[in-house]
Amino acid sequence: MEAAHQDPHLHKQLFGDHFIWGVSTAAFQMEGAANLDGKGVSIWDAFTKKKGKILNGDNADIACDFYHRYKEDIDLIHQLNIPNFRFSISWTRVLPNGDGEVNQQGILFYNNVINYCLEKGIEPWITIYHWDLPQVFEDKGGWTNRQIVNWFTYFVEVCASNFGDRVKNWMVINEPAVFTGAGYFFGIHAPGRIGIKSYLQAVHHAVLSMVAGAKKLRAIVPDAKIGTTFSCSHIEPYSNKTRDINAAKRADAFINRLFIEPILGLGYPVQEVPVLKGIEKIKQPGDDENMRFDFDFIGLQNYTREIVKCSYFTPYVFAKLVKAEKRDVELTTMRWEVYPPAIYEVIKKFNAYGNIKEIYITENGSAFEDSLNNGIVDDQKRLKFLKDNLQQVLKAKTEGYKVNGYFVWTLTDNFEWAEGYHARFGLIYIDFKTQQRVIKSSGRWYANFLK
């Protein structure tokens, strides 16, 4: 059966010998062990306890129990022939109170994970911040408090000094557009804040933290390969009317340009989105210099495209997304459009910035309804999604665009933030009652592809 999945036009060799293949995960979504061995409370621990915030009232107290099953899961990565494993460090596991005393049991856990990866011939790629801010800092304003630049830099220092001797590839911050937008503007993610003021503060402090963190990492691990990751969607206007075209440009500035441009020394895209001028009031002397860093690579995370139309009722951006379910297109469980050319378009878009050294796709994947039948999860839609997206990555590479690697999101089904356990993205199925793991057809295909 597996042989039938081999696509004559899609071979690992076509991507070249130096192309990096991997799989991505995040601490909060995987680890569980929410209050074991000295771990402190993060904003997501607190947010999941609030009524009505998470689908079905799910929480991540146990999640995939990676904290206890990391060897089993790393063995599965090895079995799937995946050479690179991206995971994140839980801030409150290593620093239960955000700063101050280091929790040695937390350090021991990540040392064990790193060492077991290396023992299995798997290269660890660490994301320092994947959304799980200590609640003690949120109580002081979280990302709206400028102090966060110092708090975050200390966290980076702890990670770099404990793991930098073995970990060579680092991502400073994951998807700042999502945790600032969903967490501090729309309030649908932790910490659940709403409003433009907190959003603009969070944006600016995230940029400063990204750079301060990268500089600290460079100082402690001089030979490290340092990157940071951005969520990006391919954006198209709903019609060829000028107002829709301009609305799409504004949405693009918010979704794709807001964080990459300042770190490249281009400043915030205030031309398209004048409300960003509010950041000028927040800025302090020296900030412009402290917003720039020469990253070794940029991680792009793409899942779909968005169609945008003008909307005078939407404050600040005057644009709205035309929902995929209203467009008669194929949808994932997340109600996102299945549109593989999106990944080609974002690679092309980010290649237009002259001074990015390397580009990795650090997340790409899909959630579909999966069912376990006679020990098999035959997820043909996800398998097709992966093949079609890789075909687009190959197209970009063949046309001479910079793209240096590809990481699937994600290893196992996990806690999918506000969607709880409803949306399954894994190459490996998890029965959350028993924690049984079953490799899906998509996982077997990826393993064969990487062999």
**H or E element, residue 80:** none
**How confident is the model at residue 3, as a pLDDT?**
42
Do residues 418 and 55 make contact, with C-beta atoms less than 8 angstroms apart? yes
Instruction: Confirm whether 325 is a catalytic residue.
Output: no
| Cβ-Cβ contacts under 8 Å for 379 (sequence gap 6 or more) | 368, 370, 440, 441, 442
Do residues 8 and 44 make contact, with C-beta atoms less than 8 angstroms apart? no
Q: What is the pLDDT of residues 240-258, one digit of tens each?
A: 999 999 999 999 999 999 9
- This prediction's pTM: 0.97
CATH of 2-450, one of 3.40.50.460, 1.10.10.10, 3.20.20.80, 3.30.930.10: 3.20.20.80
Mean pLDDT, the chain, whole residue set = 97
For strands 297-301 and 359-363, give the pairing.
Answer: parallel
pLDDT confidence tier of residue 1, bands split at 50, 70 and 90: very low
Angle subtended at Cα 361 by Cα 245 and Cα 354, rounded to the nearest 5 degrees: 60
Select which of 175, 236, 306, 337 is catalytic: 175
Rounded Cα distance between 451 and 449, Å, is: 6
Select which of 337, 363, 416, 419 is catalytic: 363
Rounded Cα distance between 340 and 321, Å, is: 19
Instruction: Confirm whether 369 is a catalytic residue.
Output: no
Spell out the domain ranges in the chain. Answer: 2-450
pLDDT confidence tier of residue 410, bands split at 50, 70 and 90: very high
**How confident is the model at residue 6, as a pLDDT?**
61
Q: What is the pLDDT of residues 281-325, one digit of tens each?
A: 999 999 999 999 999 999 999 999 999 999 999 999 999 999 999
**H or E element, residue 283:** none
Do residues 191 and 137 make contact, with C-beta atoms less than 8 angstroms apart? no
The 3-class secondary structure across 150-175, one letter per residue, is HHHHHHHHHHHHHHCCCCCEEEEEEC
CA distances from 305 to 141, 343, 359 (A): 33, 9, 19
Find tokens 């005393």 and name the residue. 101
What does the DSSP assignment read for 137-154?
HHTTTGGGSTTHHHHHHH
How is the chain split among helix, strand and coil, in percent rounded to 5? Answer: 40, 15, 40
Q: What is the pLDDT of residues 6-23, one digit of tens each?
A: 677 899 999 999 999 999
Q: What is the pLDDT of residues 76-107, one digit of tens each?
A: 999 999 999 999 999 999 999 999 999 999 99
Rounded Cα distance between 237 and 83, Å, is: 39
What does the DSSP assignment read for 288-347?
HHHT----SEEEEE---EEEEEE-TTSTTT-EEE--GGGTT--B-TTS-B--THHHHHHH
